[in-house]
Amino acid sequence: MKLKYLISGLSILILMISCNEATPVKEQELTRETSFDYVVDQFADLRVLRYQINGFDELTLEEKKLVYYLTQAGLAGRDIIWDQNYRHNMEIRFALENIYTKYSGDKQSDDWKAFETYLKRVWFSNGIHHHYSNDKIKPDFTEDYLTYLLKETDSELEGEAFDVIFNDADAKKVNKKKGVDNVAASAVNFYGPDITDAEVETFYATAYKGPEGRPVEAGLNSTLVRENGQLTEKVWKSGGLYGSAIDEIVKWLELAKGVAENEDQAKTLGLLIDYYNTGNLDTWDEYCVAWATNTGGNIDWINGFIEVYNDPKGYRGSYESIIQIKDFEMSRKMAVLSENAQWFEDNAPIMDTHKKDNVVGVSYKTINVAGEAGDASPSTPIGVNLPNNNWIRQEHGSKSVSLGNIIESYNSAGGSGRLKEYAYDQEEIDLELEYGKLADKLHTALHEVIGHASGRINEGIGQPKETLKNYASTMEEGRADLLGLYYLMDPKLQELGLVDDWQKLGKAAYDGYIRNGLITQLIRIKLGDDIEEDHMVNRQWVSAWAFDKGSAENVIEKVERDGKSYYNINDYDKLRELFGQLLRETQRIKSEGDFKAAQELVEGYGVKVDQDLHAQVLKRNEQFKSAPYSGFVNPILVAETDADGNITDVGVEQPDSFETQMLRYATDHSYLKP
């Protein structure tokens, strides 16, 4: 699972995804003085940043080689996410990039500037649908202008691939709305365009599930299509779908295996190679067990078809890669949560029958990213908890990591202003400035280390993607959020030496979560739209439920002042009780597979928006000019070699611009033909 950070000017919006990614959104007004230029570009609703690879120079040559090979393996699969996101993405990208590099006409016109912006938006989203809203990106130039550019540059883009840029077809990459055929209404390229929701459910009702009690992640690495009237899976593997890119991934993984830090690490890489070569999901589980239990070494990685948020049915994994270098100091500080995981489980306000008797192998580390690709780039998580298969987590534990240098870049590139605009009073502002940053870190850690590891599913109940269906992801993220919120105002945190004042930290955390869940996250959606992204939905249903259930005692008060709305928490202790009650219910829903209760909770509190409040929030936000979404270019790892071609060192360079990086990727790391 993946935890994601969304930056809105001065706001650091942490979204809990697997938490991509990541968490209750906090707003910081901290800008660090630094000579490093963090901001690369800003366009439309997007900002592109840089990050530094802290500690890279301290690695040994063999460790640098390992990082280099793993990074190249990740980039080798970059094209896969483009094709996964939409069936015409590769063809469209190829044509747009060809135009961009070959056009020699007027580049000062409004049309050309609109074309450049559209291309950069498509690059950022790995396709023609917005990376967050899932809405198709609309160009601000005409069909005639694109036809002219294609002709001028001898580029080709015809038929449906051309028309879809401008028409209303395939309007949503992922559509999880109630009352529609979620598969047929989603443009994501995991299913043939003629396949329906009911057909997917029927197919997987009889598909191979793996050994009893240890189910494989059925459908994780395949596209479901219709051939000769029958549904069949096209498996992503060497010799199968995406085979040319996967062969390149395997080539670099073989090199990485040759410089592994230890025998267990080499064995784990070997299993990943076997999985890519065979597409066998039992091998994938074997790899995940080896990966989760291999905690030695300074280098780690995420590589594969992993997060299922882009599948409206929750089966298929999007390709991603994150290469990690251990941050030793921060990891030591956060290990205390892992060491006390059983205490948190035993004292959680959930039913005893839903608690785990033994929380196994939860590890939490702060790492520094050395490279990202696929679904993790340019829009990156800030925290990750894997593997996702529940039985592996229960029997063998999981790894939770916080992406330290990514968070550092977000903080260092921040602005100021929104906190004062949306906070209720000076006390709320002061608490945020003093404790907000630490509250974010601890909520991320609690969400990932304790939240996702907590609780168990009742015997005989299927996996959440089968029982809770299109609500599974938002329910899981809300459940992990709630466990973190419950413990953020607990003296245990101070007893463990993690905070100096647990009450003030808890207040800052609760203020920030409610402020974001009910107000500030609304700046990221268009007026009149429902909330659809799983993490935004979960933050609203958690916040709105607590507001509603506490209304009789005025636990959270909606205040109108000078034509502006604010939410003020009057009773933090009572709010904690409400979070505990909701945590108990969400765990029951997951443990019992109660689809009806999940639907009522999500649809009743998480989707609909107060339109008057939304209009007001957007109007208040007009004064702030920074983009609401941020992503990253990756540092360039440069291998230095001797006369015989042996690597003697690996250097780090920063890309000059977003455009140069994306064009270099298209030239050097493209292994699928449109």
pLDDT tens digit sequence for 305-364: 999 999 999 999 999 999 999 987 777 777 888 889 999 999 999 999 999 998 876 777
Q: Distances in Å between the alpha carbon of 488 and those of 332, 364, 436, 522, 539?
A: 20, 17, 12, 24, 16
Is the pLDDT reported for residue 91 higher than 90?
A: yes
From the CB of residue 58, how many other CB atoms can be counted at a distance below 10 Å? 11
pLDDT tens digit sequence for 129-147: 999 999 999 999 999 999 9
Domain boundaries, the chain: 2-53+417-629, 87-128+137-163
pLDDT tens digit sequence for 285-306: 999 999 999 988 999 999 999 9
Please say whether the beta carbons of 397 and 361 come within 8 A: yes
- Residues 15, 284, 23: CA angle, nearest 5 degrees: 10
Q: What are phi and psi of 152, to 5 degrees?
A: -65, -25
pLDDT at 2: 64
Angstrom distance (rounded) from CA 21 to CA 15: 6
267: exposed, middle or buried (C-beta count within 10 Å: 0-12, 13-18, 19+)?
middle
| Core vs surface per residue 10-38: b (16+ CB within 10 A) or e | bbbbbbbbbbbbbbbbbbbbeeeeeeeeb
Residue whose C-alpha is closest to residue 323's, from 377, 281, 362, 361: 377
Q: What is the mean pLDDT of residues 26-41?
A: 61
Helix (H, G, I), strand (E, B) or coil at 663: helix
Helix (H, G, I), strand (E, B) or coil at 466: helix
Look at the alpha carbons of 590, 593, 597, 602 in this order and tell me if their dihedral is positive or negative.
positive
Length of the chain: 674
Question: Looking at this protein, which amino acid is placed at residue 58?
Answer: E
Give, to the nearest 10 degrees, the angle between helix 89-102 and helix 658-668: 120
Model pTM?
0.78
pLDDT tens digit sequence for 640-658: 999 999 999 999 999 999 9
Where is average pLDDT lowest: 32-36, 419-423, 493-497, 532-536?
Answer: 32-36
Q: Distances in Å between the alpha carbon of 364 and those of 47, 125, 385?
A: 29, 29, 9
Angstrom distance (rounded) from CA 290 to CA 293: 5
- Do strands 2-8 and 11-19 pair parallel, antiparallel, or not at all (unpaired)? antiparallel
Residue whose C-alpha is closest to residue 446's, from 25, 26, 16, 20: 16
Per-residue pLDDT band for 543 (boundaries 50, 70, 90) equals: very high
Question: Looking at this protein, which amino acid is placed at residue 491?
Answer: P
387 prior amide bond cis, ω within 30: yes
Residue whose C-alpha is closest to residue 514's, from 424, 577, 452, 433: 424
* Rg value, the chain, Cα: 24
Q: Which two tokens stand for residue 669?
A: 């790391």
Q: Which two tokens stand for residue 194?
A: 């003629």
Helix (H, G, I), strand (E, B) or coil at 626: coil
- Do strands 318-326 and 564-569 pair parallel, antiparallel, or not at all (unpaired)? unpaired
pLDDT tens digit sequence for 569-608: 999 999 999 999 999 999 999 999 999 999 999 999 999 9
Per-residue pLDDT band for 415 (boundaries 50, 70, 90) equals: low
pLDDT tens digit sequence for 440-478: 888 988 998 899 889 999 999 998 989 999 999 999 999
Q: Which two tokens stand for residue 111?
A: 């049309």
Q: What are phi and psi of 134, to 5 degrees?
A: 75, 0
378 Cβ neighbours under 8 A, 6+ residues apart: 48, 123, 124, 631, 632, 633, 658
Please say whether the beta carbons of 548 and 599 come within 8 A: no
How confident is the prediction for the chain on average, in pLDDT? 92
Q: Distances in Å between the alpha carbon of 48 and those of 409, 524, 626, 657?
A: 11, 17, 11, 9
Angstrom distance (rounded) from CA 206 to CA 197: 15
Question: Looking at this protein, which amino acid is placed at residue 343?
Answer: W
Is the pLDDT reported for residue 18 higher than 60?
A: no
Please say whether the beta carbons of 163 and 119 come within 8 A: no
Q: Which two tokens stand for residue 337?
A: 């949560």
pLDDT at 627: 84
Place of tokens 């460790």: 63
- Do strands 398-403 and 362-374 pair parallel, antiparallel, or not at all (unpaired)? parallel
pLDDT tens digit sequence for 213-271: 999 999 999 999 999 999 999 999 999 999 999 999 999 999 999 999 999 999 999 99
Angstrom distance (rounded) from CA 454 to CA 330: 23
- Residues 83, 172, 227: CA angle, nearest 5 degrees: 50
Greater pLDDT, 44 or 365: 44
Which DSSP symbol is given to 206?
S
Please say whether the beta carbons of 145 and 116 come within 8 A: no
